[in-house]
């Protein structure tokens, strides 16, 4: 009895399996008939997208270093003893402000002596000028006195210059750094006093790859972000470009100028630098539409219901799209899905990409590479 039951179960399962095999092809045929009842024999369903143009836009990110608009390391013009330091570190000073005074007793005396000599020579010239018309003195003597007066005037100028050298002045307005000397120190013209930075604006220096050197020019916009201020973008412009490419790094040195009115960003700060280059327009296709063979990259185009292979040159990839160069026109129908197995001249039935089963929800015709 148990054996008969097992045989009955096997017979029922075999019948159900046979009915399933007969029903599935009929269902598929009905589905295909309902989906494309007007398709010609041999046609292949493909999803297509109308070709659009997009500009070749490239954004690159680099690392830059901030430099003061003007920077100087200050040294005294002469040797001497420091008698007064007139600044504190971090102080903003104006152009021409005295910073350090050296002992200048001897220089002041030299100025006074030169003034006395100049005064004496001037009196002598005036006396001889009165006597010369009467012939009481020779013309040669008068000329010698005039030369002595001019020499005395030059000695005064020289003595005053040496006196000025005993005071260190700020060459431009800026923020002064830490002092390296104190009152009573003996210094020479090789002793560093301090640094001075004009950071009302900053120069951000960075190295640009040789690939992009032909695209950059003075005044081009630049966006930078200090690494210490990750949420702050600063906009500037290209300020200076080096005259040659470094043969070792194969890069070009570029400086961008950015505003720094409150002086919050200090020289030496590192920056993220962003540059955007915009070129000419190229055909834009979806990345899945580009195929490769030993002859190069190509896409399928639908022309009068038939597939046509078009070889292209890939310009740039970005965000799922590809800029290409080739014999394509705006509005050409490019096969996006169904490319596998296509042959040149094969009959195809194009359907808009985004309305088909595989492309549902994808926007049709979106262009642009950034």
Q: Is residue 323 part of a domain?
A: yes
Position 346 pLDDT exceeds 80: yes
Q: Are residues 256 and 307 in the same domain?
A: no
Q: Note whether 119 and 93 are same-domain residues.
A: yes
Per-residue pLDDT at 106 exceeds 90:
yes
Q: Could you tell me if 148 and 222 lie in one domain? A: no
One domain for residues 212 and 268: yes
The dihedral region occupied by 341, where left means phi > 0, alpha psi between -120 and 50, and beta the remainder, is left
* CA diameter of the chain: 169
pLDDT tens digits for range 267-278: 999 999 999 888
pLDDT digits (tens, 9 = 90+) for 229-239: 878 899 999 99
Per-residue pLDDT of 151-187, as tens digits, reads: 999 999 999 999 999 999 999 999 999 988 999 999 9
Residue at 346 is within a domain: yes
Asked if 85 and 178 sit in the same domain, the reply is yes
Residue 105: predicted pLDDT: 93
Instruction: Judge whether 169 lies within some domain.
Output: yes
Residue 81 has pLDDT above 70, yes or no: yes
- pLDDT tens digits for 249-269? 999 999 999 999 888 899 999
The pLDDT > 70 percentage for the chain reads: 84
- Tell me whether residue 193 is exposed, middle or buried, using C-beta atoms within 10 angstroms of its C-beta: 0 to 12, 13 to 18, 19 or more: buried
pLDDT of residue 13: 63
Could you tell me if 87 and 166 lie in one domain? Answer: yes
Do 273 and 174 share a domain, yes or no? no
Question: Which residue range is the domain that position 123 belongs to?
Answer: 80-187
Q: In terms of domains, do 89 and 148 share one?
A: yes
Position 244 in a domain = yes
Residue 146 has pLDDT above 80, yes or no: yes
Residue 4: pLDDT over 70: no
Per-residue pLDDT at 228 exceeds 90:
no
Cα-Cα-Cα-Cα torsion 358, 363, 365, 367, nearest 10 degrees, comes to -120
Same domain, yes or no: 128 and 168: yes
Please check whether residue 367 lies inside any domain of the structure: no
- Answer yes or no: do 110 and 181 share one domain: yes
pLDDT-based confidence at residue 310 (cuts at 50, 70, 90): very high
> Which residues have CB under 8 Å from 215's CB, separation 6+?
277, 279
Q: Please report, for the domain that includes residue 319, its CATH number.
A: 2.40.420.20
Query: Quick one: pLDDT band at residue 17, thresholds 50, 70, 90?
Result: low
Specify the higher pLDDT residue, 134 or 308: 308
| Mean pLDDT computed over 223-252 | 91
107/167 same-domain check:
yes
pLDDT in tens, 183-221: 999 999 999 999 999 999 999 999 999 989 988 999 999
- Which residue among 254, 279, 304 closes a domain? 279
pLDDT for res 5: 60
Q: Please count the residues of the chain.
A: 370
DSSP 41-78: TT-EEEEEEE-EEEEEEEEEEEEEEEEEEEEEEE--SS
Domain boundary residue, one of 244, 279, 314: 279
Model pLDDT for residues 279-293, shown as the tens digit of each residue: 788 899 999 999 999
Residue ending a domain, choose from 279, 313, 334: 279
* Domain membership flag for residue 368: no
Q: Give the position of tokens 């490019």.
A: 334
Cβ atoms of 205 and 138 closer than 8 Å: no
pLDDT at position 362, please?
A: 35
Please indicate, yes or no, if residue 193 is contained in any of the structural domains: no
The span from the CA of 320 to the CA of 342, in Å, is 22
Upper half-sphere CA count for residue 82 (Cβ side, 13 Å)? 23
What's the domain count of the chain?
4
pLDDT at 164: 94
pLDDT of 312 strictly over 90? yes
Tokens of 147: 């030369």
Please indicate, yes or no, if residue 361 is contained in any of the structural domains.
no
Residue 71 · residue 195 · CB < 8 Å: yes
Residues 330 and 292 in one domain: yes
Is the confidence at residue 297, as pLDDT, over 90?
yes
What's the pLDDT band for 41 if we cut at 50, 70, 90? Answer: low
Q: Is the pLDDT of residue 7 over 50?
A: yes
Res 28 pLDDT > 50: no
Two tokens, residue 307: 């597939």
pLDDT score, position 48: 93
CATH code of 239's domain: 2.40.30.170
């Amino acid at each position: 009895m148990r054996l008969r039951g097992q045989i009955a179960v096997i017979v029922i399962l075999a019948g159900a399996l046979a009915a399933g095999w007969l029903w599935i092809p009929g269902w598929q045929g009905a589905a295909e008939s309902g989906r494309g009842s007007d398709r010609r024999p041999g046609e292949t369903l493909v999803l297509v997208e109308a070709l659009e143009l997009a500009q070749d836009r490239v954004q690159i990110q680099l690392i830059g270093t901030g430099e003061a608009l003007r920077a100087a390391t200050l040294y005294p013009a002469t040797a001497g003893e420091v008698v007064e330091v007139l600044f504190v570190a971090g102080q903003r000073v104006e152009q021409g402000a005295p910073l350090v005074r050296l002992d200048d007793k001897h220089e002041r005396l030299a100025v006074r002596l030169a003034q006395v000599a100049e005064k004496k020579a001037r009196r002598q010239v005036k006396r001889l000028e009165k006597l010369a018309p009467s012939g009481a003195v020779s013309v040669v003597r008068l000329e010698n006195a005039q030369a002595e007066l001019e020499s005395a005037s030059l000695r005064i100028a020289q003595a005053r210059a040496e006196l000025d050298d005993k005071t260190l002045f700020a060459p431009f307005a800026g923020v002064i750094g830490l002092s390296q000397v104190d009152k009573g120190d003996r210094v020479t013209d090789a002793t560093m006093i301090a640094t001075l930075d004009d950071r009302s604006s900053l120069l951000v220096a960075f190295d640009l790859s040789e690939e992009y050197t032909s695209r950059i020019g003075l005044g081009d916009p630049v966006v930078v972000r200090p690494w210490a201020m990750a949420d702050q973008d600063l906009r500037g412009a290209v300020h200076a470009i080096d005259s040659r490419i470094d043969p070792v790094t194969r890069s070009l040195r570029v400086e961008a100028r950015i505003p720094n009115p409150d002086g919050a960003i200090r020289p030496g700060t590192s920056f993220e630098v962003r540059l955007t280059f915009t070129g000419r327009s190229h055909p834009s296709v979806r990345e899945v539409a580009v195929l490769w063979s030993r002859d190069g990259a190509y896409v399928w185009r639908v022309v009068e219901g038939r597939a046509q292979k078009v070889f292209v040159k890939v310009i740039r990839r970005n965000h799922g799209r590809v800029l290409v160069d080739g014999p394509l026109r705006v509005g050409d129908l490019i096969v996006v899905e169904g490319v596998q197995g296509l042959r040149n001249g094969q009959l195809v039935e194009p359907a808009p990409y985004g309305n088909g089963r595989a492309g549902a929800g994808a926007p049709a015709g979106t262009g642009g590479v950034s």
